[in-house]
A and B are shown apart, each in its own frame.
Chain A
Amino acid sequence: MSLDSHASKDVFEYVLRLGDSALIQGQRLCQWCGRAPFLEEELAILNVGLDLFGQARYWLEYAAELQGDACTADRLAFHRDERDFRNVLLVEQPNGDYAVTMLKQFFYDAWHWQVLEGLGQSSDRRMVAIAAKAVKEVTYHLQRSSQWVERLGNGTAYSRQRMLAATAELWRFTAEFRTSEARENWLWIEGVAPDPTRIGSAWEHTVASTFERATLPVPPRPQPGYLNARHGLHTEHLGLLLAEMQSLPRAYPDAVW
Chain B
Amino acid sequence: MQPWTLFEVFVRSKHGLSHKHVGSVQAADASMALEHARELYTRRSEGISVWVVASAAICACAPEDKASWFETAEDKAFRHARFYELPDEVGHM
Binding site for B on A (CB under 8 A): 37-41, 43-44, 47, 144, 147, 151
Contacts and interface: CB of A to CB of B under 8 A. Distances in A.
Interface string B34-73: 0110011001000000000000000000000000000000
B39 A38 contact: no
A151 B28 CA distance: 10
Contacts of B27: 40
Contacts, number: 26
26 contacts: A37-B1, A38-B4, A38-B26, A39-B26, A40-B25, A40-B26, A40-B27, A40-B36, A40-B39, A40-B40, A41-B36, A43-B36, A43-B39, A43-B40, A43-B43, A44-B35, A44-B36, A44-B39, A47-B39, A47-B43, A144-B35, A147-B31, A147-B32, A147-B35, A151-B28, A151-B32
A43 B40 CA distance: 7
B13 to A, nearest CB: 19
A40 B5 CA distance: 12
Interface in B6-36: 25-28, 31-32, 35-36
Nearest to B36: A40
Given A43-B40, A47-B43, A147-B32, 12 more contacts: A38-B26, A40-B26, A40-B36, A43-B36, A43-B39, A43-B43, A44-B35, A44-B39, A144-B35, A147-B31, A151-B28, A151-B32
Contacts of B36: 40-41, 43-44
